[in-house]
Chains A and B, each alone.
Chain A
């Protein structure tokens, strides 16, 4: 067992959890604000990876050096745009319709993005290798190896999460987001245009998913149009595990998922894929509201 539960695996798990966290936050924020499980969210992550892929390859082909920060900004922007478009075109018309309609629509948006990207001639359904945006370096400390990719993944994710926490806790927009998630009608009576708050939520969620897409591209450099499905489901599971609608919950749930998945994979690769769901089922049996979620009574 010592082989499996070691520090190296813990680091790998935190690295994976950081990527899940960025995706998971979008799920949880959108759910918190509009009570929609946005199944297309994993595909926003895919869009981010492809945007980075094209930007970097374009630059390489012309022998221009572009700053990594620019690649991040542009790809996050691309994902945010897709997220906002999905909201405006697909979800907004269904806002006051039964919730199931929007849920089915989200599945539709997800499939549309996957198949549309596969159908585009310059993307296609097959795997592509993600260019080396950052040169890999391995640092060895004792018998532990840390790649600079792990550092980038954890750091980018941490910076974005600190930014989000600040935004939600300390700014006026964040205050409005909390108010809208608590009571939409009351928020509207304060003069808040809730549609613009919802748009901002999709923007942030989309941008975070885009960032996760680039990080995944850098770390596991194979991208394809269906790459968002499994991480999307796992990030959603992480959000539910932490308590859907709860931002710290999504972060916690994601790290638990990443770490347990890494440890389980080291034991048996098939177990790795399933462990997350096993944990979810066990947690939900004892805490249906998730780890940090609050018990909410349906209002009559």
Chain B
């Protein structure tokens, strides 16, 4: 579904991503784990077009999306839950969702999406008219995921969805991710909480200072000695 080959991304003279290649298969939950500054966020931002590619290619369902404009990539079916939620704080919950439905022309499709969003996030229906900035941290994260769901991608990129949430909410958000995956959306998850990420994922890549150091099925990596020492605190 998503194929990244020999990707390089630079910020000015600094190379943030050095020649990485990886793949996300249809229906999977794939995860990129790694320490701060390893290039996880940059990788996601580059896939959705927010960062420019210096060299290499990104293919989504056989379409070359390398350096395509972000709004066109969204239209092709990649939705992105950015790091730090990035909800529109001075807009209402409804307006946030309406904006996410920006590209939907068909009224029926739109109401189906609303039904889907509210079935997963009933709380957002209660908060519909409230300003997004007044939601709790957990609700804001839910709204951010709901927005991505609303855009209707077949691939969802999630950047640190557990950041800043209490353990109960972390469990809740991972449940939601699995639920979304079961309903047919492929997931690429970036997490610092490697333990959680490896629990839900099918396949995992370990990113270290801009390159892929390790990869394998999530089950294998969970038992890998190096992963255990570096990321699982064992």
Contacts and interface: CB of A to CB of B under 8 A. Distances in A.
Contacts of A193: 69, 71
Nearest to B87: A186
A216 to B, nearest CB: 34
Interface residues of A, number: 17
Contacts of A183: 86, 88
Contact of A190 (B49, B89, B100): B100
A229 B15 CA distance: 45
A191 interface: yes
B98 to A, nearest CB: 6
A189 B79 contact: yes
B71 A192 contact: yes
Contacts, number: 66
Contacts of B69: 188, 193
Contacts of A119: none
B147 A185 contact: no
Interface in A218-268: none
Contact of B70 (A175, A179, A188): A188
Interface string B75-86: 100011010001
A97 interface: no
Nearest to B79: A189
A182 interface: yes
A172 interface: yes
Contacts of A188: 49-50, 69-71, 74
Contact residues on B (Cβ < 8 Å of other chain), bracket: 20 to 34
B82 A172 contact: no
Given A172-B98, A176-B102, A179-B99, A189 B91 contact: no
A191 B75 contact: yes
A117 B165 CA distance: 59
B42 interface: no
Interface string B85-106: 0111111000100111011000
Interface in B45-70: 48-50, 69-70
Interface of A: 172, 175-176, 178-179, 182-183, 185-194
Interface of B: 48-50, 69-71, 74-75, 79-80, 82, 86-91, 95, 98-100, 102-103, 147-148, 151
Closest 4 CB pairs of A and B: A191-B74, A188-B70, A186-B86, A191-B103
17 contacts: A172-B98, A175-B91, A176-B99, A178-B88, A179-B95, A185-B50, A185-B86, A186-B86, A186-B88, A188-B49, A188-B50, A188-B74, A189-B70, A189-B148, A190-B100, A190-B151, A191-B151
Given A176-B99, A193-B69, 5 more contacts: A175-B91, A182-B91, A189-B79, A189-B151, A190-B99
